[in-house]
């Protein structure tokens, strides 16, 4: 998949910005506050239906305006070259309109599946050092793109989880207030949890070899193990038991029963897929307790690049990379290896920088398109 062009109106300081993009590296260079990151934010909004900086549309809109517009011509990379015209209009308190080839599409997930993107921000190392929620979202993105029933399954699970939490909260902290209705929702919760865990566990098993290869290319001295925590393991419980198709349901039922008093106290489900995590370890220690910030960033980049490589080889779908000043914390050698890896994958890159990044002598500069961004205006150099 490649973005052929973009046209952006009324997104932050981009009153009207457009560019014809190349299939390789597209660099947007300019001073801080020029509008470089807003370009990536708009592309992300088009592809995923949300900003990576704010949940509030009012923060996205150019001051004094009530709607934004993002259009793009996209090559979906099918065997027969296919260019799709996609457009998104978001209105302040007025809803969202998505059009694909001129036809209105009510489901943003349709476009999200067709336009796989990997986002790399300066804080990309949070994927290693912060809590499970970011890694869980990252895991969900990967499973969504390779297991096509996963999106619907996740929606069902979230609805059941929400209803179960409503019942728990309604108990007002009193175990005696639990009704038989909770058992009905718990049974659905366990059934869906097993399916979600199975998809996630299978996915990580398929993806892990790609991660190990990419990490070795970025830094041969780092050895980080990647595994799956389904969200309800205690020190005396093995992952194999929690993920065994015959035992996992019974184990989860047992743990939910044992934790019922605590769940009633807090008014929320305390264990399950909503607390799952990607475990990163070095030996027996958590990786985030051992790695330096620079090493953590290298591991995070290996996670993102290997996920895109797995998607490419398993589903013949190339990801586009949106990179906001990704070289800020990497030394020249690691930065060079990183960009060479992306070039080997033939993935499109949209990257921002205040100046030219270190790409290395072997990087094909003839494939690089450089754009200057200043005061919200984009011009090709």
**CB distance 217 to 341 below 8 Å:** yes
Percent of the chain past pLDDT 90, that is, above it, reads 71
Nearest to 299 by CA among 131, 124, 142: 124
DSSP string of 69-133?
EEEEEEE---SS--EEEEEEEEETTTEEEEEETTEE-S-HHHHHHHS-EEEE-TTTTHHHHS-HH
Residue 237: pLDDT band with limits 50, 70, 90: low
The mean of the pLDDT values for the chain is: 90
**CB distance 200 to 135 below 8 Å:** no
Residue 357 has pLDDT above 80, yes or no: no
CA distances from 73 to 110, 133, 156 (A): 16, 33, 33
78 vs 286, higher pLDDT: 286
**Across the beta sheet with 369-374, what order do the strands follow?**
117-120, 320-324, 349-353, 25-29, 369-374, 377-380
| Spacing of C-alpha 352 from chain mean position | 19
pLDDT for the residue 247:
72
d(CA 74, CA 3): 5
Two tokens, residue 362: 């072997």
N residues, the chain: 381
pLDDT tens-digit readout, 186-234 = 999 999 999 999 999 999 999 999 999 999 999 999 999 999 999 886 5
Nearest to 225 by CA among 290, 273, 275: 290
Residue 161 has pLDDT above 90, yes or no: yes
Q: E strands along the chain, which residues?
A: 2-11, 14-20, 25-29, 67-75, 83-91, 95-100, 103-104, 117-120, 225-229, 277-282, 285-286, 320-324, 349-353, 369-374, 377-380
pLDDT for the residue 243:
67
d(CA 71, CA 111): 13
Two tokens, residue 360: 């290395």
**CB distance 112 to 49 below 8 Å:** yes
Residue 106: pLDDT band with limits 50, 70, 90: confident
Q: What is the mean pLDDT of residues 351-379?
A: 85
Q: What is the mean pLDDT of residues 150-179?
A: 96
Nearest to 305 by CA among 362, 353, 343, 354: 343
Domains of the chain in start order, with CATH, are 2-116+321-380 (3.40.50.300), 129-288 (1.20.1050.90)
User: H/E element holding 159?
Assistant: helix 150-169
Number of H helices, E strands in the chain: 12, 15
pLDDT for the residue 240:
59
Pick the range with the lowest mean pLDDT from 112-121, 129-138, 253-262, 333-342. 333-342
pLDDT tens-digit readout, 57-73 = 889 999 999 999 999 99
Q: What is the mean pLDDT of residues 264-287?
A: 95
**0.95 cut: is pTM over it?**
no
Q: Within 13 A of 69's CA, how many CA atoms are on the CB side?
A: 8
Pick the range with the lowest mean pLDDT from 186-195, 238-247, 305-314. 238-247
Q: Which of helix, strand or coil describes residue 61? A: strand
pLDDT for the residue 249:
84
Residue 328 has pLDDT above 70, yes or no: no
**CB distance 197 to 276 below 8 Å:** yes
Residue 355 has pLDDT above 60, yes or no: yes
Q: Which residue in the block uniquely carries the two structure tokens 């909260």?
A: 169
d(CA 318, CA 2): 8
Q: Which residues contact 196 (CB under 8 A, 6 or more apart)?
A: 150, 153, 154, 157, 273
Percent of the chain past pLDDT 70, that is, above it, reads 93
Residue 306 has pLDDT above 80, yes or no: yes
């Amino acid at each position: 998949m490649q973005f052929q062009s973009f046209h952006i109106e009324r997104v932050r300081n981009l009153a009207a910005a457009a560019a014809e993009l190349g299939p390789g590296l597209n660099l947007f260079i300019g001073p801080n506050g020029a509008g470089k990151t807003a370009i990536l934010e708009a592309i992300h909004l088009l592809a995923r239906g949300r900003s990576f900086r704010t949940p509030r549309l009012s923060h996205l809109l150019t001051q004094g305006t009530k709607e934004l517009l993002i259009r793009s011509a996209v090559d979906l990379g099918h065997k027969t070259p296919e260019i799709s015209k996609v457009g998104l209009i978001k209105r302040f308190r007025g809803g969202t309109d998505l059009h694909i080839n001129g036809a209105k599409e009510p489901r943003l997930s349709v476009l999200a599946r067709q336009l796989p993107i990997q986002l790399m921000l300066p804080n990309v190392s949070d994927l290693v050092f912060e809590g499970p929620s970011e890694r869980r979202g990252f895991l969900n993105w990967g499973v969504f793109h390779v297991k096509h029933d996963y999106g619907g399954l996740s929606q069902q699970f979230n609805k059941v989880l929400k209803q179960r939490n409503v019942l728990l909260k309604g108990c007002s902290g009193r175990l005696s207030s639990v009704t038989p209705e909770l058992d009905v929702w718990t049974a659905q919760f366990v059934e869906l949890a097993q399916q979600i865990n199975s998809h996630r566990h299978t996915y990580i098993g398929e993806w892990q070899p790609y991660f190990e290869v990419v990490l070795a290319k970025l830094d041969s001295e780092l050895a980080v193990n990647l595994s799956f925590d389904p969200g309800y393991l205690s020190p005396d419980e093995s992952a194999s038991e929690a993920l065994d198709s015959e035992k996992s349901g019974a184990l989860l039922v047992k743990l939910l029963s044992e934790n019922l008093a605590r769940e009633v106290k807090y008014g929320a489900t305390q264990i399950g897929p909503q607390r799952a995590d990607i475990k990163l370890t070095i030996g027996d220690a958590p990786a985030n307790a051992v790695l330096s910030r620079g090493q953590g960033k290298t591991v995070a980049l290996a996670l993102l690049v290997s996920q895109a490589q797995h998607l490419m080889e398993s589903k013949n779908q190339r990801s586009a990379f949106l990179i906001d000043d990704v070289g800020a914390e990497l030394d020249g050698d690691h930065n060079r290896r990183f960009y060479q890896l992306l070039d080997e994958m033939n993935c499109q890159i949209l990257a921002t920088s205040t100046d030219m990044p270190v790409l290395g002598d072997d990087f094909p500069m003839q494939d690089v398109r450089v754009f200057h961004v200043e005061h919200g205006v984009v011009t090709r150099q």
